[in-house]
Structure 1
Amino acid sequence: MDFGSITEFLRNKTIFVTGATGFIAKILLEKILRIQPNVKKMYLLIRAKDAKVANVRLRDEVLSKELFDVLRKKCGANFESFISEKITPVAGDASYGNLGLTDDELNAMYNDIDIIISVAATTKFDERYDVALGVNTLGAKHVVNFAKKCTKIQLLIHVSTAYVCGEKAGLISEKPYAMGETLNGVGGLDIYSEKMLAAQFLCNLKAQGLPEKEIRQRMKNLGNQRAKLYGWPNTYVFTKAMGEMLVGQQRGNLPVVIMRPTIVCSTLKEPFPGWVEGCRTIDSVAVMYGKGSLSLFPADGSSVLDLIPADMFVNSMIVAMKAHANQPNLTIFQVGSSYRNPVTFKELHGFHFHYFSDNPWSDREGNPVKVWKGLVLSNILIFQIILYLVRFVVQMISIFASKTGCGDIQDIMFDFDKKLNIAMKLVNLYKPYLFFNGIFADTNTEMLLIAAGENGLDEDVFNFNPLSINWKDYFINVHIPAIVKYLF
């Protein structure tokens, strides 16, 4: 692998990023522009009906974020002109065969692009099946086909997820998926048949004249049913796994790197510690706990939650980009921490209790919310029984209050019932990860890190070594304060 100077490698490169308004893509964009202002151009695929809307989304959903304050300060008065020179937003959609681009845009980009980084995805666990198939599965194929037409292409980086493994236990290796491979051995998985099934199912629902809300829910249910039929716990990881299959089948001799991050959380260091956006996998639990809405935790306390700060994941992508450019192979990198620097659910629970005990959140009336140590239940069935019993009692009190005219009590019970309902939904959604017993081997990632270090990699600029993370310090001084700042 050739490392040399990574920043020099980026000089005069034209890079195409899909999913440009997403969390990871924004951090990647900011990083490249900050460390190598002489990058030639960055095309950003933004889902929009036309160029005007794409530009508005770029301004409002990307450049206006606090994330870009360091770069804005570095550029000073030249920030706007610098952005105009380096960034070209293009209106399109990865779920379309030509990415939704015009012929003129396609021809210009085919002759200009050196690197493609495909981040476009819908990350909702329970996304409607037709949408998830379009973006996560077929979108991957469309980007590969686009890349193969680029005359100067050096590498395609496809961002997947480590959890395409489903609920496997033990050591999980960095191996590709064969076309039609399933997790439970059930045969008959055919991606194009899945596409037709989803389209026909949707057509039938519309023919029945069902309201849009009902159609949306039934399409979500279909995705989860198809995922579980073949051994995956939800629509998201199922459609991402099928996306990987298509990348492997369609790439030919195209150099491809598949990045499989674990649970991506707030930045550790760059461009500043603790930037986060959106309520990510573990953060919804932190929000509910900090607000006093959650005191029962269904999880195996000894289970390892595999986390990686977002800036470290972006660093691994950039280093892999330099190492694998023009190498006609498919390489998979699992980027996480469970193998070399694990943190358990019990430890995470302790960090949250410690933080919110010392820094209680204040409710609407300005009263500090007291958090309790809580009870960690390693048996999901016991947890569900307790929740159902509590909810039954709450509903009985609410009915009694209604009959006796106690409106205040009824309002309190109604609010409490809403919180219970949210908790139950969260538990059902995240259950596969609260009791996850797998450890992600990161052999390729470790080899990349070692090789980069031996070749003089600047670890301050491109650090992605999970051993460098002090989890207690990160959670108490970086991550949880960021959750409170951005999400509460």
Structure 2
Amino acid sequence: MESELFKCLEEMHGESYKSFIENKLIPIVGTIYEPNLGMDIITSDKIAQEIDLIVDSAAITTFDERYDLALDANVNGPYQLMMFAKKCKNLKLLMHYSTAYANGEREGLILEKPFSMGESITKEKITSISPFTNFPSLHVDNEIDLVSKLKNNITNNIDLEQIMKNLGVERAKLYGWQDTYTFTKAMGEMMINNMRHEIPILIIRPSIITSSYKEPFPGWMKGFRTIDPLIFFYRKGDLSCLLGDPNGLVDLVPVDMVVNATMAAMAKHGNLQNRQLNIYHVASSSINPISFSQIFDYSYNFLKLFPFVKKMRFFDKILDVENYIWEVLSKQHEVQNGKELTKIQIRLIKKKVEYLKNFSKLHEPYMFYKGWYVLYFLFLFFLRKMIHFYIHKQVKNISTCN
């Protein structure tokens, strides 16, 4: 309620703002991946009788999260939510936030289509080249069993954390996803599609969400996320180069546009109440593209008065990135101190270089990504224009012949 996001609403209602909000919102303690969403029976029964819309925005969004924790939030969470949704007598729609990057390592034109249990990006690629090649199907239950058995065999919690982090990335890469986050979000979609039966489902897949464009005011974003860390490290002078394609397109969409698209889609499908699964990509697509080099050119023009901000350089090898960052950071320390580096400073620089190297490797799949997303309503718009033009041309030709 104290968030800056609601400042306009607070000004509008004045002293009655608090009571206005309390009449609108009833917070309930729960856990997304537990039966009944972690609620007590009385509360869950009351909610199940009354609500007509569920909005699922619960997720772990860390790219390299522990596999067991990511499965709990992003896969088991949707499972428990669907189990609860089936108890809701008046439910008109369940709206689930996914990500456009649930499409994994698919490249080129990516359509808005659902995931079915057993599908995987690797399987798509292999069978498109050789239809008779066998590749293991991706089943959520198998992944959960794999994690459960592994956890039972590991007693050291320190080892467990790293093993689970590595396992998530390994399984994601095996089946064709960039990282643990996108992999488990795709499996969450599979779970929803597999369980939906008669429940109307709406899935919103935003690309990289950035700060607000207009509403409730420009520039709002909470936390340190999406593309912010890249700009932040660049501003400090730490991130002097990137592992990536400078001409690669980065798909950014302001948070208020995502919210507006969500409300429009919910209004449409909540009223229609068709027992279908509908998916929308909310992205800049080919309509308003921007490249990585453009982003850092804009950043440079804005930040160039700061002492350590230089033109961003791009490399396609991680070793070049590591060497260049080491060179830049070493010079910065020498300039600041006016003398050669001490052993402690060298150790600190090595630690920073290692962190930025891992940071670069984590974001590498996105920095070379070649996919772009179809906005379905725009596709229909252009299709209609093409049909109209074709008919008009045919009529004109007939008239000329006559």
Question: 4+ residue runs of structure 1 moved beyond 2 angstroms?
Answer: 383-386, 388-395, 406-419, 444-448
How far off its partner does 1:222 sit? 1.2
Partner of 1:175: 113
| Deviation string, structure 1 residues 388-436 (Cα, Å, up to 9, x no partner) | 58659999xx9xxxxxxx9962343233223212211111110000111
| Deviation string, structure 1 residues 351-386 (Cα, Å, up to 9, x no partner) | 11111015x3xxxxxxxx331113222x2x2x4245
* Matching residue's letter, 2:147: A
Aligned equivalents of 2:365, 2:200: Cα separation in 1 = 33
- Residue 103 (structure 2) pairs with residue 165 (structure 1): yes
- Number of aligned residue pairs: 363
Partner of 2:343: 410
Aligned equivalents of 1:288, 1:392: Cα separation in 2 = 16
> Among residues 329, 332, 340, which one is paired with 2:276 in the alignment?
329
1:216-295 → structure 2 map (5 Å cutoff)? 216-295=161-240
Partner of 2:154: 205
Aligned equivalents of 2:6, 2:226: Cα separation in 1 = 24
1:27-426 → structure 2 map (5 Å cutoff)? 63-185=1-123, 186-206=135-155, 210=156, 212-325=157-270, 326-358=273-305, 360=306, 369-377=307-315, 379=316, 381=317, 383-388=318-323, 391=326, 409-426=342-359
Aligned equivalents of 1:386, 1:350: Cα separation in 2 = 19
Indicate the larger mover: 123-132 or 413-422.
413-422
Q: Do 2:55 and 2:95's aligned partners in 1 also have CA atoms closer than 8 Å?
A: yes
How far off its partner does 1:225 sit? 1.3
* Matching residue's letter, 1:289: Y
How far off its partner does 1:161 sit? 0.4
Q: Do 1:227 and 1:233's aligned partners in 2 also have CA atoms closer than 8 Å?
A: yes
Aligned equivalents of 2:327, 2:312: Cα separation in 1 = 21
Change (3 A) 1:306 1:112: same
How far off its partner does 1:103 sit? 0.6
Change (3 A) 1:98 1:338: same
Q: Do 2:242 and 2:321's aligned partners in 1 also have CA atoms closer than 8 Å?
A: no
* Matching residue's letter, 2:183: F
Task: Find the residue that maps to 1:349 and give its secondary structure.
Answer: helix
Q: Do 2:240 and 2:325's aligned partners in 1 also have CA atoms closer than 8 Å?
A: no
Which runs of 5 or more structure 2 residues have no equivalent in the other structure?
A: 124-134, 334-338, 385-402
Aligned equivalents of 1:445, 1:178: Cα separation in 2 = 25
Task: Find the residue that maps to 1:417 and give its secondary structure.
Answer: helix
Q: Do 1:174 and 1:334's aligned partners in 2 also have CA atoms closer than 8 Å?
A: yes
* Matching residue's letter, 2:322: L
Give the structure with higher Rg (CA): 2
How far off its partner does 1:303 sit? 0.8
Q: Do 1:292 and 1:371's aligned partners in 2 also have CA atoms closer than 8 Å?
A: yes
* Matching residue's letter, 1:109: I
Aligned equivalents of 1:75, 1:238: Cα separation in 2 = 43
Q: Do 1:334 and 1:444's aligned partners in 2 also have CA atoms closer than 8 Å?
A: no
* Matching residue's letter, 2:141: Y
